[in-house]
Every structure is written in structure tokens, then in C-alpha cells.
Chain A
Amino acid sequence: GQNIDQPTEMTATEGAIVQINCTYQTSGFNGLFWYQQHAGEAPTFLSYNVLDGLEEKGRFSSFLSRSKGYSYLLLKELQMKDSASYLCAVRPYGQNFVFGPGTRLSVLP
């Protein structure tokens, strides 16, 4: 089966940079996705990596290495509103989406 691992919780300070890692075991997939989910709300799409390398989108960047089965989400200039859970997900070929358990990020003043 497919498996995605993420740290359960992380804490960082307002204005800092934080990196949320995601490791996965899957034979092949179209792309890797990152979602943000605030408490009690639905996940919202953040980023999508198809090729290896870094995709930058404002304060958020996402990195993918297919050979290493590894991705990370980088959040810069952290703000209090970035406190949320961050979900990593892949869609293996011929299968449904597989979501990671999520990383709960707390941003402290």
C-alpha cells in the first residue's frame, strides 16, 4: 500500500521560516500536493509539484525529489494566521489520492 509520513506537530515563531517534511512510499504518481487546513475548516490547495525541484509561490515554496521519495513545504515570514494543519498528498498511478496525516503548525508571537 501507499504510505505518507509527516511530523505530527511543529512550533515556530512569528517572522521565522519553517520547513515541513513529507516522505512517501509509492511506485509512481502524477504529482505531489500540499494543502492547508485551519481548525474546523476544509483543506485548501497550496501547491502542486510535478517535476523535481522547488516551486515558489509567495511566502510558500514546495520542493520535490522523486528519487528520494521526499517533499517539503517551506513557509517564510511566518504569520499568526499560518497556524494550521498542512497535508501532503499524492495520487499514485491508477489509484485514488492518498493524504498524509497532516502536520499541525503552531505559530507563536
Chain B
Amino acid sequence: DVKVTQSSRYLVKRTGEKVFLECVQDMDHENMFWYRQDPGLGLRLIYFSYDVKMKEKGDIPEGYSVSREKKERFSLILESTSTNQTSMYLCASSSLTGAMLETQYFGPGTRLLVL
């Protein structure tokens, strides 16, 4: 079974603080993604990565950055949090090969509250 883990389930931060969310997958997947999910807006892609040290902007990259130094890890960084970044953050990974090509497997999510 694919396993995607995220460093925290719940976080509470104050405006302006830095947040570092880490995601680890154990299936040697090439692709990794960061989404946020908000009521009424669905899943929105923040950043994604197709390989180590490679990153691409998604639909809503503003206010975020990412890092992928190792194949199994993909980190999302919020340099200076704002209240509109209160959300559920979901990491996902997928493979470029195999029968279930590009099926995305999600981590448990991190619920971030910015006060």
C-alpha cells in the first residue's frame, strides 16, 4: 500500500510566523503535489514537483514556496503566514509508470489555523 505521511495533523500559528510542512512518501513516486482545500472551493493546487530539485507552480502559488531535496520528501513553506492561509493542506504523490498511472495518493492532511 502507498503511504503518504505529513509532519503535523494540526497547527496553530500567529500571523507572520513561518510554517514548514513536510510530506514523505514511501512508494518511490516521481510526482509530488501540495494542495489546499477550503469549503466551497474544493482542492486547489499550490505547487508540484516531477523530480528532485524540480518544482512547478500550480494554480495558487502566491505566499508559498516548496523544496524537494530528496525523491521521497516534498516540503511546503509559508514564510510569513497570514489569516487567509488558514486551511487544510494536503500532500499527494503519484507515479509516472504502472497500471494506475498518475493516480494520486493523499496524505492525512494538515489543518492549519492562523490567528
- Residues of A bordering B, CB below 8 Å: 30-31, 33, 35, 40-45, 48, 87, 89, 91, 96-97, 99-102
For window 82-101 of B, CB contacts with A under 8 Å fall at 90, 100-101
User: Interface size bucket, B side?
Assistant: 20 to 34
Tell me which of B14-22, B42-50, B69-77 binds A.
Answer: B42-50
A-B contact count (CB 8 A): 42
Tell me the smallest distance from the CB of B34 to a CB of chain A, in Å: 12
Assuming A30-B101, A91-B102, is B109 touching A41 (CB within 8 A)? yes
A-B pairs, 3 with minimum CB distance: A42-B106, A99-B43, A101-B42
The CA of A33 and the CA of B105, in the complex, are separated in Å by 12
Q: Does B65 contact A (CB under 8 A)?
A: no
Tell me the smallest distance from the CB of A37 to a CB of chain B, in Å: 9
Residue of A nearest to B9 (CB): A40
B101 contact from A31, A35, A44, Cβ within 8 A: A31
